[in-house]
Amino acid sequence: MAPTEPDTAVAATRRTPLSFELYPPRTDAAAIALGRTIDRLADVDPAFISVTFGAGGSSRDRSLTVLRYILENTTVEPMAHLTCVGSSHAEANELVRKFQDAGIRSFLALRGDPPAGSDPDAPLGDLASAAELVQLIHRVQQEREPFDQVAVEGNPGASRIRERTRKTEVAVAAFPTGHPQSRDLSRDVDILLAKQVAGANLAITQLFWEASDYLGFVERARAAGVTIPILPGIMPTTTSKRLARLTELTGVQPPASFAIALEVEPDPAAQTELGIAFAARLAAEVIAGGAPGLHLYTYNRHEAVLDVVERLGLGAPHQLANERNTAR
Ligand code: FAD
């Protein structure tokens, strides 16, 4: 049976919140290009832009530089990925504090992966799971700012303290097709529930290639008591080389029809079109199925993700920017 074309523009609405993921650049030239990419992504008014963190802290300063750029040059909330593999309690504490000192209030708490080739039974560090890092982030924030200062009405200059109302946002990872270490899919739901109990208020999924993988996972998570929003993570993949690399990194198998279509298409522009059309269709299907937003993996390029955004009817970037400017 021929697949039916979902009406992408109808499935998505202008209110569907967007978010994007970037990784820290490795060269000065890449950093300059990334600044331009961030500016273009900011034009579509995403709920947040997240920045990955090299396992073991290898990219700490570069991640922080990108997060500061977002904080200082856009109105978008920066979200810092943090990993805990290999950290002692004191190191993890200091790391969280350093990011909070820089003004970061949104985190994606991750366990991270031990270096390739390391002993799988070796201890991971003082914090063994993302759930423990979630708890640590909340604790450090609570220790830093347990109270808010509020003005006393009718008494100029006086202030009183009240318990802080602005909570730190802590997101976590979720795996619709199962974490590579997971024995079965129910285990992934249990782990997500444990992260929610630890204080996570948002989940972002690993990429997936079939809407039913995401929608089925959300259904099982809800049945198990997970109430936090679960954002679908989607990456427009426009070359077969990148698709092969992603499959190797994540272990998530793409549909053979898509992999073959990319492989046999000789024209790069037509390959790009295949990747964007596939991502837009997948996004439209999960939004139609109730996804609370859309998290797009950018690979540090704005073109493909903004094409997806536009195709979903979420607004051409320049139009949205103009509308916002005239509304001010
Ligand atoms: P956890 O939730 O701690 O769990 C991972 C697995 O460990 C579980 O599925 C389970 O098998 C096992 N496990 C956990 N808790 C227990 C327990 N109590 N008992 C028994 N087993 C348990 N990596 C980076 O290095 N940097 C990044 O910036 C980064 N960003 C990511 C962003 C997203 C959206 C996603 C989906 C992944 C990202 N990763 C990143 C990869 C991630 O670090 C790895 O997938 C890692 O293997 C798992 O991390 P986690 O936070 O899900 O770990």
CA of 193 to the centre of ligand 1 (A): 14
Output the ligand 1 site: residues, CB below 6 A: 52-53, 55, 81, 83, 108, 110-113, 129-130, 173, 179, 181-182, 188, 191, 204, 206, 233
218 pLDDT band (50/70/90 cuts)? very high
- Lowest average pLDDT, out of 40-54, 147-161, 294-308, goes to 147-161
pTM (global) more than 0.85: yes
In ligand 1, the atom with minimum distance to the C-alpha of 175 is: 36
Looking at the CA of residue 178, tell me the nearest atom of ligand 1.
9
* CATH code of 104's domain: 3.20.20.220
With respect to residue 167, please indicate whether it lies within any of the assigned structural domains: yes
The one-character DSSP state at 57 is G
Indicate which residue's Cα is closest to atom 44 of ligand 1. Answer: 112
The pLDDT tens digits for 310-327 are 999 886 444 444 444 444
Residue with the nearest Cα to atom 36 of ligand 1? Answer: 206
Whether residue 253 lies inside any domain: the answer is yes
In a domain, 151, yes or no: no
For residue 48, the cross-strand partners are 19, 77
State CA 243 to chain mean position distance. Answer: 19
pLDDT tens sequence across 62-103: 999 999 999 999 999 999 999 988 889 999 999 999 999 999
Q: Is residue 188 included in any domain, yes or no?
A: yes
User: Is residue 146 scored above 70 in pLDDT?
Assistant: no
Asked if the structure places residue 156 within a domain, the reply is no
> Does residue 155 lie within any of the structural domains?
no
Torsion 120-58-205-98 (CA) sign: positive
Other residues' Cβ atoms within 10 Å of the Cβ of residue 24: 23
Residue nearest to atom 26 of ligand 1 (CA): 53
Centroid of ligand 1 to alpha carbon of 110 (angstroms):
5
Residues 47 and 17: their CA atoms lie apart, in Å, by: 6
CA–centroid distance, residue 112 to ligand 1 (Å): 6
How far apart, in whole angstroms, are the C-alpha atoms of residue 36 and residue 30?
A: 10
Has residue 42 been placed in a domain? yes
CA 207–ligand 1 middle distance (angstroms): 13
Active site residue 303: no
Residues 6+ apart with CB under 8 A from 212: none
Task: Name the domain count of the chain.
Answer: 1
- Is 280 within a domain? yes
Least confident of 19-28, 94-103, 185-194, 311-320: 311-320
* CA-nearest residue, atom 7 of ligand 1: 181
Q: What is the extent of the structural domain holding 294?
A: 13-146+161-326
Question: What residue's CA is closest to ligand 1, atom 11?
Answer: 182
Question: Mean per-residue pLDDT for 6-14?
Answer: 52
Burial of 137 (0-12, 13-18, 19+ CB in 10 A): buried
Q: How close is the Cα of 8 to the center of ligand 1, in Å?
A: 32
Could you tell which of 81, 110, 182 is best to mutate to test the pocket of ligand 1, judged by most ligand atoms within 8 Å of the CB?
Answer: 110
